[in-house]
Amino acid sequence: MQTRREFISNLVKFSGGLVLMNSNLFATNKPRIPSVNLNNGVKMPILGYGTYDLSDTTKCVLDALSVGYRLIDTAQMYGNEEEVGEALRMSKVPLHELFITTKLSQNMSYKETLKSINVALKKLKLEYIDLLLIHGVYSDSKQMYKAMEELYENGVLRAIGISNFTTKKYVDFVKDVKITPMINQMETHVFFMQKELRAVMKDTRLEAWSPFANGKNGYFSNLVLDGIAKKHGKNIAQIGLRYLIQNGIIAIPKTTKKKQNDRKYRYF
């Protein structure tokens, strides 16, 4: 966790950088969300929509897609893969424009992992998954990942990765895998930029869950963030996302309100 002094210093530098950049940085029109290259060359949108704990997943995902989001993040433990799949079908958005992530959310053997991935494909109504993650550090994580590597090589998974692997867990894990994880999804926000972890993940992209610190620690009343937001005619959420993205970090914010989704989309 960075100190208050480091946090303020970094944000002040960031704010100054905004002034020096193109005046269209926060244009009101909707540009396509930029993509980043994963270590295997697959392009992934740098901003997506998280689906954890939604009351009406299908409607919320449809709203997100209508705003312009193409990266949709779900997981087995969310219990909404079928609803996400239904929203994708109803939206009529071409599959090649979408980037769908799901996560294996319990400890499994190699064979159980293969079966579980097949179940996820059926629930999502997809023939392949863009990104599959192991949701946490499990006792059989390496066997699970071995199954993922196999399906990746067979084209069923376009990218594979992990989630909630701290620095030590990440370093220990990658020693024994054949394919370096493309993604490590971690809690990341302006108060907690995962500096140590990013330093060791040379070939693995960081993806931020809870990019607004879950609203804790005075995130939405922070005077530094508020000052930068007012300076650029934006809100704190937009500034927080821009700070992550400008540091090369993929972010998956969540909201149940279409208007808020639209505002977050306009971090540009």
Pairwise CA distance, residues 30 & 263, whole Å: 10
Average pLDDT for the chain: 90
135 is known to lie in a ligand binding site? yes
Q: What is the dihedral of CA 140, 143, 147, 150, to 10 degrees?
A: 150
Q: What is the per-residue pLDDT across 33-82, written as a single tens digit (0 to 9) for each? A: 999 999 999 999 999 999 999 999 999 999 999 999 999 999 999 999 99
Residue 94 buriedness (CB in 10 A; 0-12 / 13-18 / 19+): exposed
Catalytic residue chosen out of the listed positions 49, 52, 69, 78: 78
Annotation marks residue 78 as catalytic:
yes
Domains of the chain: 32-259 (3.20.20.100)
Pairwise CA distance, residues 7 & 12, whole Å: 9
Q: 134 near 141, Cβ under 8 Å?
A: yes
Tell me which of 49-58, 113-122, 248-257 is least confident: 248-257
Question: How many Cβ atoms from other residues are within 10 Å of residue 187's Cβ?
Answer: 14
Q: What is the per-residue pLDDT across 173-190, written as a single tens digit (0 to 9) for each? A: 999 999 999 999 999 999
pLDDT at 158: 99
